[in-house]
Structure 1
Amino acid sequence: MTTNEQHTHYVPEHTPRLQWAEHAPEVYKAMFKLEVAARKGVDPVVFELVKIRASQINHCAFCLDMHTKDALAAGESVERIIQLSAWEESQHFYTEKELAAIELTEAITVLTEGFVPDEVYAKAAKQFDETELAHLIAAIVAINAWNRFGVSTRMVPGHYTPGQFK
């Protein structure tokens, strides 16, 4: 495909299954409070990297749309966002602290073995003090919950404006 060719594959936007926040406003408010509380203790760059990586793993298009836009608006590079899905092969794009957070995100998001490996936790504990680590874990848990709401109700990506929910 050359730069002059148009992308012809188009899939019409789907309709969400359920406007869950409208039907469970107390749950939405509680989730938002968790989000705000977790955010206070996590570096903003790490926070968005964690949100993006968990959303990639969970295939949450709505959250990917939101958090990539927020990261770009905050000055994150396109290159680092693109490389995040292949971070293990692109570690030179990230700091040791960011890598520890990304690896912990994967371990908490994909509990296939039923636990977070000690070595992954130890790497994170070496990079973050206990308060930061507690907030980081809360941020990872929160995005996984948001992803599950987004995926199960088929929230529609593409309409988010950066900074809309800060």
Structure 2
Amino acid sequence: MTQRINVYQHAPKILPLMVRLAGEASKGLDPKLAHLVELRASQINRCAYCIDMHTKDARAAGETDDRIALVAAFEEADNFFSEKERAALALTEAITVLTDGFVPDEVYERAAKSFDETELAQLIATIAVINTFNRLNVATRAEAGSYTPGQFSGQH
């Protein structure tokens, strides 16, 4: 098997720019919600590095182990997640998977009812950024386990 490169080592300007973008994208969102969204996208994309990161950051932000464990089944865990959180997680899944190449109207409308326009823009941007991080890390098989909470100033 070919040894994979470390994108951030060989293109060192990428990580600081992505970290800044992640920070701007999530401004105004509840940090716990942002971590749950980032965790859910990372689970779907099978990005071990980001799953590790966002689990640790979510805990550091005060998220419970129960909610972290149940985020993959958020629709079936009504008593653990608010409608606003379920709408955000549903939008995360729709944007991450892009079934049939688009985000269904009902998923978008559900999120639009739960978030004002600025929050919705921040949420969509946060989902897009975590998907970019996931793809960089999955392509290079970034190893999980070395991340410490807040390592990237509370962001990536």
TM-score by length of 1: 0.88
Candidates 33, 38, 41, aligned match of 1:54? 41
Greater C-alpha Rg = 1
Gaps of 5+ in 2: none
Note if contact 1:16-1:154 (Cα within 8 Å) is conserved in structure 2. Answer: no
Q: Give the superposition deviation at 1:145.
A: 0.4
101-110 or 24-33, which deviates more: 24-33
Candidates 98, 118, 126, aligned match of 1:131? 118
1:112-151 equivalent positions in 2, closer than 5 A: 112-151=99-138
Residue type of the alignment partner of 2:21? L
Q: Give the superposition deviation at 1:104.
A: 0.3
For residues 101 and 79 of structure 1, the distance between their equivalents in structure 2, rounded to whole angstroms, comes to 18
Candidates 56, 68, 76, aligned match of 1:69? 56
Candidates 70, 73, 77, aligned match of 1:90? 77
Query: In structure 1, the residue corresponding to 2:40 is in which secondary structure?
Result: helix
Structure 2 match to 1:3:
none
Note if contact 2:32-2:62 (Cα within 8 Å) is conserved in structure 1. Answer: no
User: Quick check: 1:165 aligned with 2:152?
Assistant: yes
For residues 12 and 71 of structure 2, the distance between their equivalents in structure 1, rounded to whole angstroms, comes to 33
For residues 60 and 34 of structure 2, the distance between their equivalents in structure 1, rounded to whole angstroms, comes to 14
Cα distance change, pair 44–16 in 1 and its aligned pair in 2 (3 A): farther
Note if contact 1:35-1:142 (Cα within 8 Å) is conserved in structure 2. Answer: yes
Gaps of 5+ in 1: 1-14
For residues 95 and 86 of structure 1, the distance between their equivalents in structure 2, rounded to whole angstroms, comes to 13
Q: Give the superposition deviation at 1:16.
A: 6.9
RMSD over equivalenced CA pairs, Å: 1.3
Cα distance change, pair 16–145 in 1 and its aligned pair in 2 (3 A): farther
TM-score by length of 2: 0.93
Task: Show CA shifts across 1:73-115 (max 9, x none).
Answer: 1110000010111112112210111011000000000012111
Q: How many residues align?
A: 152
